[in-house]
């Protein structure tokens, strides 16, 4: 990701920002949808048995009455800036709510300057989960 794009995302209040790992409970009111998106982006994505390690995931549907859990309200398309504290390793996920096919889709849209070789296929191609 280039410096200008990084700075724009960093300043944009609608962009959700995380370090190298994290997750949050999200709420999308139009579909009464609550889901959890999580990721970690540390080091090599390979496990000891040479299988690709899952580094992103979506849990849905969740009970919309989660009580005291903090829910982040999102729109149909929401950007998540990962590694916001290091522009060389920063990249962006886009979370898309497909209301017609009732699916949450997460995909990388801006690759990091460094660390591209350790990006997994599921990060690059995206994952989807029905609700």
pLDDT for position 65:
65
Judge whether 94 and 78 are in contact, CB under 8 Å.
Answer: yes
Tokens matching residue 26: 């999200």
Over its C-alpha atoms, the chain yields an Rg (Å, rounded) of: 15
pTM score of the predicted model: 0.84
Number of domains within the chain: 1
Confidence of residue 79 (pLDDT cuts 50, 70, 90): very high
Alpha helix (H) ranges present in the chain?
3-11, 121-125
CA atoms within 13 A on the CB side of 13: 0
Using omega within 30 degrees of 0 as the cis cutoff, is the peptide bond preceding 61 cis?
yes
Residue 114 sits in which domain range?
Answer: 3-130
Name the range with the highest mean pLDDT among 7-11, 27-31, 113-117: 7-11
């Amino acid at each position: 990701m280039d410096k200008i794009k990084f700075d724009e995302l960093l300043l944009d209040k609608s962009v959700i920002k995380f370090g190298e790992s994290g997750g949050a409970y999200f709420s999308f009111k139009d579909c009464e949808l609550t889901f959890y998106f999580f990721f970690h982006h540390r080091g090599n994505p390979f496990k000891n048995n040479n299988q690709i390690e899952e580094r992103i995931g979506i849990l849905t549907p969740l009970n919309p009455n989660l009580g005291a859990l903090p829910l982040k309200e999102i729109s149909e398309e929401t950007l998540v800036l990962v590694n916001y504290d290091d522009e060389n390793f920063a990249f962006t996920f886009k979370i898309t709510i497909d209301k017609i096919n009732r699916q949450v889709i997460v995909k990388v849209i801006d690759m990091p300057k460094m660390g591209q070789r350790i990006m997994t296929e599921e990060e690059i191609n995206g994952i989807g989960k029905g609700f």
